[in-house]
Amino acid sequence: MSSPGQPQRRATLKLVAESLGVSITTVSNAFSRPDQLSEALRERVLAEAARLGLSSPDAAARSLRLGRPASVGVMYTDRLSFAFSDPGAVLFLQGVSRVCEENGQELVLIPSTSAADAAATAVGRSMIDGLIVYSVADDDPVLAAAADRRMPLVVVDQPRISTLPWIGVDDEAGCRAIAQHLIGLGHRRLAVLSTEIDRERRGGRVTVARQQAITFATTAARLRGYRTAAEDAGINWSTVPVVETRENSEANGYQATAALLRSKQRPTAVLAMTDQLAFGALRAAAKAGLSVPEDLSVAGFDDIPAARVEPYLTTVAQPHEEKGRRAAEHLLAQLTDRSAPPRQQQLKTTLRLRETTGTAHPTPT
């Protein structure tokens, strides 16, 4: 098995045929005329082609005819509908798709839910020439599967590997800044709504010990930012409840916040790792009869369009669409020149102070 960043050798029909001891026609038929082969033989050919990193013959033919790669894949470990319902993902894919349109590329979405092996298989079988890996866990097998394909790839957000091209933001600095803002307003009872801790997505309270074993780099960086600001202000981090949500949705943010607001010492401020979770927190506050920001301050991360509509959300802005555009541009540069060194680019975040954060007031104990 290859490792990410390893020098690549372009696979061909001939190479696959020689490896299996079959004819080139047999390999071609496995892709274009599957009815000509037994199911077992076709599976052998496809598996070996994936192992050697062969794009489909159709894709390769289009590449030669057009003078550019035929298709770009975007791999993300979530449901297909995530690409169309999550506001941040929508903006990111807009950036990717615009570059693909400008360069005559096809765009292939490769979703996967909880089955990591299925995700790796999907990458191995997809008819793509390059891959954008969008925010996966450090231990996700998708990267190894892409390396086995020997195809150019770019990682967006997580994980960050020195030998691979990467596009992302300084999540830790952004979260440290927004936590410092709340602490500066006098808030000492903080609570955190966290994105996934690991691929199990168990949900619920996250102990300090488990916080040390996070396998999603973005979650870990944002939590470090919050914790650094809190501890610098003399707040005992073990007293700050951190709640993992199973997915990035308003509904999950609502459920988590509703439980926090029922606690004996309810927080005066909620730090949500995404705007979607923050919107859920706002709804939970309203349901509990609390005013924002008088009774509860809420801060998000992302600055999606809905954050700029009343109630105007205090948040950390990150350039989702620009990330998508830069990722696609980096990938196309690799496809043009395989010898190009991996580029890593960290984009800026901006603190947006709006209506959902205010001065802390005493709360019932």
- Report pLDDT digits (tens) over 256-266: 999 999 998 89
- Quote the pTM value: 0.80
Q: How confident is the model at residue 4 (pLDDT cuts 50, 70, 90)?
A: low
Q: How confident is the model at residue 104 (pLDDT cuts 50, 70, 90)?
A: confident
Q: What is the mean pLDDT of residues 280-289?
A: 98
> Residue 65 has what pLDDT?
43
> Residue 77 has what pLDDT?
77
C-beta of residue 104 within 8 angstroms of C-beta of residue 68: yes
How far is Cα 317 from Cα 323, in angstroms, rounded to an integer? 12
Q: How confident is the model at residue 7 (pLDDT cuts 50, 70, 90)?
A: very low
Domains of the chain, earliest start first: 9-52 (1.10.260.40), 171-318 (3.40.50.2300)
For residue range 195-246, what is the model confidence (pLDDT) as tens digits? 999 888 888 999 999 999 999 999 999 999 999 999 999 999 999 999 999 9
- Which amino acid, one-letter code, is at 268? T
Residue 9: name the closest of 332, 339, 329 by CA: 339
Q: How confident is the model at residue 119 (pLDDT cuts 50, 70, 90)?
A: low
> Which stretches of the chain are DSSP H helices?
13-20, 24-32, 39-52, 57-66, 82-85, 87-102, 116-125, 142-148, 171-184, 208-211, 217-232, 250-261, 275-287, 320-336
Residue 319: name the closest of 85, 47, 92 by CA: 92
Q: Return the higher-pLDDT residue of 358 and 362.
A: 358
Mean pLDDT (the chain, rounded): 86
Residue 286: name the closest of 309, 313, 254 by CA: 254
- CA distances 136 to 181, 191, 197, Å, are 29, 25, 11
For residue range 127-148, what is the model confidence (pLDDT) as tens digits? 788 899 999 888 888 777 777 7
Please compute, for residue 227, the number of CA atoms within 13 A of its CA located in the half-sphere on the CB side. Answer: 15
Copy the structure tokens of residue 361. 């007031």
Helix (H, G, I), strand (E, B) or coil at 190: strand
